[in-house]
Amino acid sequence: MPDPRQLHRASTRVLSLAMIAIGLLLVIRTLTVGGGALALGIVLGVLFVAAGGARLYLLARDGRRR
């Protein structure tokens, strides 16, 4: 049975990558339908990418400490 910490780290990595993918898709979709720079899809997409990236950054930073 895998260590619970390893399982948590792996699931965090997968969900963070999913958040980044969703954010990119939101931005792309909004731009293809003609949304402007402050369209809701752009704002939410950028926030999703930022949140996913921050989670990955914190996960990597925590891994270097151990």
User: Quick check: 55 and 19 in contact, CB under 8 A?
Assistant: yes
Per the domain annotation, does 1 fall within a domain? no
Per the domain annotation, does 53 fall within a domain? yes
pLDDT tens for the 66 residues of the chain, in order: 779 889 999 999 999 999 999 999 999 999 999 988 899 999 999 999 999 999 999 999 987 766
Per the domain annotation, does 56 fall within a domain? yes
Per the domain annotation, does 3 fall within a domain? no
First to last CA, the chain: 21
Q: Which domain holds residue 57?
A: 37-66
State the Rg of the chain over Cα: 15
Q: For the chain, what is the domain count?
A: 1
pLDDT of residue 45: 97
Sequence-distant contacts of 28-32: CB under 8 A, at least 24 apart: none
**pTM (two decimals):** 0.89
